[in-house]
Structure 1
Amino acid sequence: MIDVQAIGPDDWKAWSELRLAALEEAPFAFGSQLADWIDAPEERWRERLSVPGAYQVIASIDGTPAGMAGGFPGEEPQTAELVSMWVAPAGRGKGVGNALMTAIEDWARGIGAGTLALSVVPGNDPAHNLYLRHGYVDTDEPGDLMPDGVRREIVMRKPL
């Protein structure tokens, strides 16, 4: 059974363990790098989970953490952004990604967002396909530059 729970600053240790695993297992998929976070002190993790208006979730399968995602209010009115999405290898193909997406989409609707945006790295086909299945479409907006200084993220949006 998949359980998705909202977390906060007091859950920093569980979030940090998943985030470090994500950055180690899929370094190509994130703008952050493992070296940016590996020695981060507790207060940095707590700050990440204390952003006003943000919403972070951890998904577990039978009590074992299997994925994470975050939502942030967008810079434009009535928008929100999905960030830090990752599913552990043991959780892939078991509905964890769908559960995380649904949790963030429900949160975004709850704060009055009419559009949810995300960014995905070119070549991350499993994530890109998950987002397409959830109704996101590619945009022509340039995404952030990746740590390699060459690739840019693909920006996707979904009306809610």
Structure 2
Amino acid sequence: MGETDGAIGIRRLEPNEWAVFRGVRLRALRDAPTAFGQTIEQALARTAQDWRDVLRVRAQFAATVSTETVGTVGVTTDAASAHLISMWVDPRARGRGVSDLLIDAAVGWAVERGCAAVRLDVTEGNTAAEKLYRRHGFVPTGRRGPVEPGDPRMEFEMRLLL
């Protein structure tokens, strides 16, 4: 991926685009297996219907350059806040503002739904992600816990008030 590959596009994936989501998610899990709660084995075990169902219950944004998907982020909501999840950008596309555009899309989606805040969890030691989120106004809440029950990896929560 070179400097002249074109503009970065951001779009929300629809359930019929499950294969796009599956592809980018598998690339993310292969690239950064310790950054996510889900394992590659769990993702590979999902059926096409499972992938469609995920896209029905959350907003999943994809970043593209030309026809290549180079990043993704998901966002869900609960009673008062949104939760940013599954953020990933292809290493070849990093440093081009892709993550900033994905965060802006997720936060914009939360604002449109009247959420009071956006929360996210960062795996401890992922300083690049922490710096990115701080740059967008997210601050640590003090909540900390395992990535998954019984998992030795720890994560901490950050929040952006809207």
Q: What residue number does 1:28 align with?
A: 34
For 2:60 and 2:153, locate their aligned partners in 1 and report how far apart those are by CA, in whole Å. Answer: 27
2:14 touches 2:56 (CA, 8 Å); kept in 1?
A: yes
Secondary structure at the aligned position of 2:45 is classed as coil
Q: CA, structure 1 residues 150+84, in 2 after alignment: closer, same or farther (shift >3 Å)?
A: same
Q: CA RMSD in A?
A: 1.4
TM-score normalised per structure 2: 0.91
* SS of corresponding position for 2:19: helix
Cα distance change on mapping 1:86 and 1:148 into 2, 3 Å: farther
Which is worse superposed, 131-140 or 57-66?
57-66
**Residue 4 of structure 2: aligned partner:** none
Matches within 5 A, 1:55-70: 55-70=59-74
Alignment of structure 1 residues 62-101 onto 2, 5 Å? 62-74=66-78, 77-101=79-103
Whether 2:159 is the aligned partner of 1:157: answer: yes
Superposition map of 1:9-158 within 5 A: 9-51=15-57, 54-74=58-78, 77-146=79-148, 149-158=151-160
1:23-66, Cα deviation, whole Å (9 max, x unpaired): 11100100000011113211111111111xx2111001233111
AA paired with 2:28?
A
For the residues of structure 1 that align with 2:126 and 2:145, how far apart are their CA atoms? 14
For these two proteins, the number of residue pairs brought into alignment is 156
- CA shift, 1:147, in A, is 7.4
Unaligned runs of 5+ residues in structure 1 are: none
* Alpha-carbon separation, structure 1, partners of 2:113 and 2:72: 20
Runs of 4 or more consecutive aligned structure 1 residues displaced over 2 Å after TM superposition = 142-148
How far is the alpha carbon of 1:136 from its aligned partner? 0.3
Work out the percentage of aligned pairs sharing the same amino acid: 35
